[in-house]
Homo-oligomer: A and B are copies of this chain.
Amino acid sequence: MGDISNCSNGINNGNGNGNGNGNGIHGNGHSSVGGYRKSCWYEEEIEENLRWCFALNSILHTGVTQYQDIQLLDTKPFGKALVIDGKLQSAEIDEFIYHESLVHPALLHHINPKTIFIMGGGEGSTARELLRHKTVEKVIMCDIDEEVVDFCKSYLVVNREAFCDPRLELIINDARAELERKEECYDVIVGDLADPIEGGPCYKLYTKSFYESIAGPAGVFSHIEVFTCICNTLRQVFKYVVPYSAHIPSYADIWGWVMASDSPFTLSADELDLRMKQRIEGENRYLDGKTFTSASTLSKAVRKSLDNETHVYTEKSARFIYGHGKHNQA
């Protein structure tokens, strides 16, 4: 879609907004009632039978990488949205819910997290949240798609500072290959990719003290797509596994994460709040101790599936989710 990029110059905030000029002397019956309908839309197929559509302000940037198509859209309901291969990756107004939930629980439960490895994470938001931790000395972001990283570096203003942080080291490679190749040990490994095959835990990882698994849909129905399976697989690998979830408005679903370790997770809500105060620069917008307590207490329906789940990811077996949310992220 190279032809798009030359045309991309989105400067259009709230077109069709407010002015009521739909009612000028040339107004017709349609525009004379509350303005004409929105005419430009982003449409995502959450499932084959389910669509989610955002009115568009503009198409800010588009690009094509070796692996994927990327778009940065300016949407009316969710602000700037990163779209890869036609799937929403993250949206300006609620990505903080996703990334605070992905990053902080594992780091806070660790005594003293210094070195972090991100599987994927090219968008930069995961690194941004990690780098808020005062204890963190080194963050390795290992993403397979350099052009996605460059795209996000140039256009996602909110992560610019993180991309420039001297503690961040970028490696372009397949995350698992990289982990298997290296002898190094990390305090925490964060999986910021949702492809269930890669999401399935790498058995080489159980020497690591902490592992924050990749996320997946965790709604009353959607959780059975991959979430229970990721949990169950991590249970085979780690002594202690804590699944938790949160609603991401722009995904139109509950999202779930799994935190796993060989040491127990024993912090109370208040202890979490205290550690946040001590260790994290700035204030979280979404996550605090109470929020995590609630997030890690799953509903009856989801707990039931988790108990009954028998499927385990292996190199060969994997469940797929219908391209959704961070599904395609490199």
Contact = CB atoms under 8 A, between A and B. Distances in A.
Nearest to A41: B41
Nearest to A93: B221
A60 B54 CA distance: 18
A288 interface: yes
B62 A33 contact: no
B1 A222 contact: yes
Number of copies: 4
B60 A26 contact: no
Contacts of A87: 28, 31, 36
B286 A69 contact: no
Nearest to A94: B220
Given A14-B69, A290-B300, A320 B9 contact: yes
Contacts of A19: 1-2, 64, 69
A15 interface: yes
Contacts of A76: 49-50
A1 B35 contact: yes
A247 B302 CA distance: 12
Interface stretch (A78-86, A133-141, A207-215, A259-267): A78-86
B31 A323 contact: yes
Contact of A17 (B15, B48, B291, B298): B48
A303 interface: yes
Interface in A270-317: 284-288, 290-291, 293-295, 297-301, 303
B36 A249 contact: no
Contacts of A24: 65-68, 85, 145, 328, 330
Contact of A37 (B10, B17, B37, B93): B37
B10 A246 contact: no
A62 B17 CA distance: 11
Nearest to A100: B300
A9 B2 CA distance: 19
A322 to B, nearest CB: 5
Contact of A225 (B1, B29, B253): B1
